[in-house]
Amino acid sequence: MRLRYQYRLYPDAAQREALARAFGCARVVFNDGLRVRTDARAQGLPYVSDGELSNRVITQAKQTPERAWLGEVSAVVLQQALADLNAAYRNFFASITGKRRGPRVAAPRFRSKKDNRQAVRFTRNARFSITPGGRLRLPKIGDVTVRWSRPLPSDPGSVTVVKDAAGRYFASFVVETGDETGEMPWPETAGEVGIDLGLTHFAVTSDGRKIGNPRFLRRAAKKLRKAQQALSRKAKGSANRKKAVVKVARGHARVADARRDFAHKLSTSIIRDNQAVHVENLSVKGLARTRLAKSVHDAGWSQFVGMLEYKAARYGRTLVKIDRWFPSSKLCSACGAVVESMPLSVRSWICACGAAHDRDVNAAINILAAGRADRLNACGDQVRPPLAVAQVDETGSLRGAA
């Protein structure tokens, strides 16, 4: 499995200037390549091939007075900028022809020096290295100080240097993990768990455990609002406005870092303690179009489920996603009866069979049962013989019924 390991960089003043030069050169090459292909299409000319494009916007451009400064940075940085452009075109063509699944991919756009994120990539051809003293040696930039929070499992195939909106620098390494690198899966365990994700509680497990929702954005809303108000009062183009922009970006970065740290710790503990994990395949995009949009984005369900997915594959666990149309909240986990309606205001209910249910715990138990049925029963039979089956015309029982 290929994974990214990210570390904080602390370049000095000269190295920051060299990195800014590399960011600018990569951006110019990307935009020049995009402009060449856009003009060729407007004039009805054939599609410019990758090799010809590299020759025109890098090799020939370096020989002109207008682009002679491209030779001040590593050639690999420029080639990788064109590689990103070519990948963007391939994804766009695959999307419009139906070969690529998922949402429609837009055509490549021009990059701006005002973008919140600037990045350059170095491959093995650039001969980047990690010095014996623990610094990252980058061509035409120097030895950059790195804070190593954990060791790399293997030699990296590439490194991407990123500058975010808050002015922080990071080194993102692509490494191979698995048996070939000496990394073994975790020992098997007998535990299985179903997880119901929500807003009142971030997650409720089938064993009755309730994990509170941290609401990182809500907790930081007051400080972010004051920082944004201070930014709105600064004159455009002034030095104080640039400082205010960085202050707002740092506030949002702290929120994102805290949310990511919470998701990492929780997903790791769940994967470590359970051999199989069962979750609902929620439509986060659909929920983000409701009045709960801010709370849904603040929860970060997609990020959490994505971490569960790759950690399960990495450590020899099983992750099962239950169909989002499965009535986990309205199904009695004791007798299998399905109630007609279950408003969100109902947090506990009593079934006709006499079983008393906590809404979220009952949903997590049903998710666990449905996940076991999907994983162990290849025929896709029902989870359990229900006493009452949901009617065809019941709201929520059919895709698009609501």
Query: Rounded to an integer, what is the distance from CA 396 to the centroid of its chain?
Result: 29
Pairing verdict, β 142-147 and 158-163: unpaired
Active-site residue flag, 179: no
- Contacts for 272 with CB less than 8 Å, ≥ 6 apart: 186, 315
Residues 170-205, buried b or exposed e (16+ Cβ, 10 A)? Answer: ebbbebebeeeeeeeeeeeeeebbbbbbbeebbbbb
- Where is 94: in which H helix or E strand? helix 75-96
Active-site residue flag, 393: no
Contact 111, 27 (CB under 8 A): yes
**Separation between Cα atoms, residue 3 and residue 172, nearest integer Å:** 10
Contact 21, 333 (CB under 8 A): no
Contact 274, 317 (CB under 8 A): yes
| Catalytic, out of 192, 280, 298, 374 | 280
355, 362, 396 from 166: Cα distances, Å? 53, 43, 44
Q: What's the CA angle centered on 133, arms 167 and 157, to 5 degrees? A: 70
| Catalytic, out of 196, 261, 340, 381 | 196
What region does 170 belong to: left with phi over 0, alpha with psi -120 to 50, or beta? Answer: beta
| Catalytic, out of 32, 192, 298, 360 | 360
**Separation between Cα atoms, residue 232 and residue 69, nearest integer Å:** 37
DSSP code of 98? T
- Tokens at 49, concatenated: 């091939």
> CB neighbours (10 Å) of residue 364?
30
Active-site residue flag, 196: yes
Catalytic site positions: 196, 280, 360
